[in-house]
Amino acid sequence: MGATLRALRALVLLAGFHLLGLLLLALLGALDWVAWRWAPAVWALKTYALSFVLAVPVVRGMLMLRTPRDEGVAGVPVTEAEEPRLWAAVRELAGHVGTRAPDEIRLTADMNAAVTEDARLLGLRGGTRRLYLGLPLVAGLSEARLRAVLAHELGHYAHSDTRLSGITERSRLHVARTVGRFEEKSGLKVARERARQERKSARRVAKGRTAKEVDTTGVGFSYRVMARIYTAYGRFSMRATQSGSRRQEIAADLAAARIAGRDATASALRALPALDTAHEFYLNSYATLGVEFGMLPPHGEVFGGVRHLLDARAEELAGMRAELPTEPATPYDSHPPTAERVATIESLPDDGRSAEEDRPAFDLFASPEAALRAVEDATLTPEALAMRRLDWPDLVHESMTARYVRDTEPLRTAIAELPGARDERAAGEGNAPDLDLGIGLDVARRTEAFLDAVDTGAVWDLVDRLPKSEEAAAATGRAAREFARSSLRRELARLLTTALTADGRARWQLSWSAPASLLLPDGYADALPAALDAAIADRPDTEPLRKLLATGGAL
């Protein structure tokens, strides 16, 4: 479908939204007329009120003229003076595509690249063009693959995709906002009715009567009906436009293959799902590892550190690129399945340009580190920017140690509530000794108290003070004893790990290819499991654990 037909379709869908609003207003007016002619005065007034409150969101949606641009996009604009090689590559590719280069390049923290255009007069006239380039994406691509990605995005300009997207987006936004207003009003009405019934039930209970069950069935029904009407139109509009979006993506892929090469384009498409998965894993497992404890990686490494993960797991990523994800296609998808896109490109004739690994894409940047730091400063919240920065090895060690300290708090609290611990606290250390003690000393004392409880047989009282699974809570007899033994062994192992890391005898080790591992003093790895088993046996023996805790220096 050409640009003219796509523009006509978008205008028809936008006009359809307004026609739907006029039709609904006409129906509401007809309802008011019927009520005026034949309904009693009381019911007529109720009908007028209902028509009014339903008409307000419809009229507001129809009168919305402005479509917001770039909402929520955090990025750093870079000039040609700051990044001359990047700008030269973009201009060169735009020339090959046969389109005007973007007016701005903004670097972002996303695993993505995108283009926009502030078109005017409903897309009849072009406007400011922006290219958004995610630095985590750049980190995972070679220069040839990045050129293919850029050629794809610039292909959207050449096909007028960005100019016409404004009309389509306006129609979708009208529908979404109108649906949102009806759903909001329905929710408020349900909430008010629920509160009214709860107050009524409370008064009944105060009088000694049985409270009635809250029932909001039917409340806000008219709002929900209106929302469903607009939702149905929105789905129709999505189905009509997303098929075109999928064709636009294939056309942009073909443009990229023509300019950057078939193999480089196919290779870039294969890399995108793998890089997206790796980036999400990196953010969850590395970059934000210490956020809840007020710690972040070094400046520039929050988004740039994904490079270490990609290098360490190159073979794993190669396997992911070879086996593309199976994505169930729906009529509402804006992009075709990746496997379909790759198959389309790889079916093209060989153009003699291979996709062998060449220079990293970051070679197009004057200073990748400066760019990463700038994007980090522009993207993170002020609270995050104020967090303590640690090198990766220290970040992993301190974050894991803090996590174990937090996770052992229920056990340490339960130990403090044992009779012996309460007597010790009351006799020698006041009402709240832990507030004045370092966490290492506190953990060490709790560990000693745990072992003392094992020796006296009081340790089994801890089981009832700790969280239990449903299966463990329901168990009885020997099964309950085994659940308790397993729970105590696990909790004791975590407490010992916390004690050893807190006093410097053990250290969490950073690994980019595997989970963090605990480096123990010599001999501990072999002796510790047997010592734990001995401590929670039917005839417990805490001596092996006490010896381990009494020996060994800091790493």
Burial of 316 (0-12, 13-18, 19+ CB in 10 A): middle
DSSP 349: P
**Structure token pair of residue 3:** 């640009």
DSSP 389: E
Q: Where do the H-state alpha helices sit in 39-141?
A: 41-63, 84-97, 135-139
Q: For residue 412, how many other CB atoms are within 10 A of its CB? A: 23
Q: For residue 96, how many other CB atoms are within 10 A of its CB? A: 15
- As a whole number of angstroms, the distance between CA 199 and CA 330 comes to 46
Amino acid at 513: S
Write down the pLDDT at residue 421. 57
Q: Is residue 227 a contact partner of residue 131, using CB atoms and an 8 Å limit?
A: no
Q: How many residues does the chain have?
A: 555
Q: Is residue 162 a contact partner of residue 156, using CB atoms and an 8 Å limit?
A: yes
Write down the pLDDT at residue 64. 64
**What are the backbone dihedrals phi and psi of residue 333, each rounded to the nearest 5 degrees, phi first?**
-75, 135
- Name the region of 294 (left: φ>0; alpha: ψ -120 to 50; beta: rest): left
Residue with the two structure tokens 């003219």 = 4
Q: Where do the H-state alpha helices sit in 207-220?
A: none
DSSP 388: E
**What are the backbone dihedrals phi and psi of residue 532, each rounded to the nearest 5 degrees, phi first?**
-65, -45
Write down the pLDDT at residue 426. 36
Instruction: List Cβ neighbours of 11 (8 Å cut-off, separation of 6 or more).
Output: 122, 167
Direct distance between the N- and C-terminal alpha carbons of the chain, in angstroms, rounded to an integer: 68
- Beta strands 388-389 and 295-296 are parallel
Q: Between 41-63 and 3-38, two packed helices, what is the crossing angle to 10 degrees?
A: 160
Q: Is residue 116 a contact partner of residue 70, using CB atoms and an 8 Å limit?
A: yes
SS3 132: strand
- As a whole number of angstroms, the distance between CA 390 and CA 372 comes to 17
Q: Is residue 353 a contact partner of residue 264, using CB atoms and an 8 Å limit?
A: yes
Question: pLDDT by residue for the chain (555 residues), tens digit each?
Answer: 555 565 566 667 667 777 888 888 898 888 888 888 888 888 888 888 888 888 887 787 777 655 555 454 568 999 999 999 999 999 999 999 988 899 999 999 999 999 888 766 655 566 788 999 999 999 999 999 999 999 999 988 876 655 555 556 666 666 777 777 778 888 888 888 888 888 888 888 887 778 778 888 777 888 888 888 888 877 777 776 677 778 888 989 999 999 999 999 999 999 999 999 999 999 999 999 999 999 999 999 999 999 999 999 999 999 988 888 777 777 767 778 889 999 999 999 988 887 666 789 999 999 999 999 999 999 999 999 999 999 999 999 999 999 998 888 888 888 887 766 544 443 334 333 333 346 767 788 888 888 888 888 887 777 777 777 777 777 777 787 788 888 888 888 888 888 888 888 899 999 999 999 999 888 888 888 898 889 888 888 889 888 888 875 444
Tell me the C-alpha to C-alpha distance, in Å, between residue 238 and each of 18, 117, 234, 332: 16, 21, 6, 6
SS3 7: helix
Q: List the one residue out of 383, 435, 147, 88 whose CA is nearest residue 265.
A: 147
Using only C-alpha atoms, what is the Rg of the chain?
Answer: 32
- As a whole number of angstroms, the distance between CA 158 and CA 115 comes to 12
Write down the pLDDT at residue 356. 62
- As a whole number of angstroms, the distance between CA 300 and CA 278 comes to 18
- As a whole number of angstroms, the distance between CA 214 and CA 9 comes to 47
- 347 CB-side CA count, 13 A: 9
- As a whole number of angstroms, the distance between CA 348 and CA 351 comes to 8
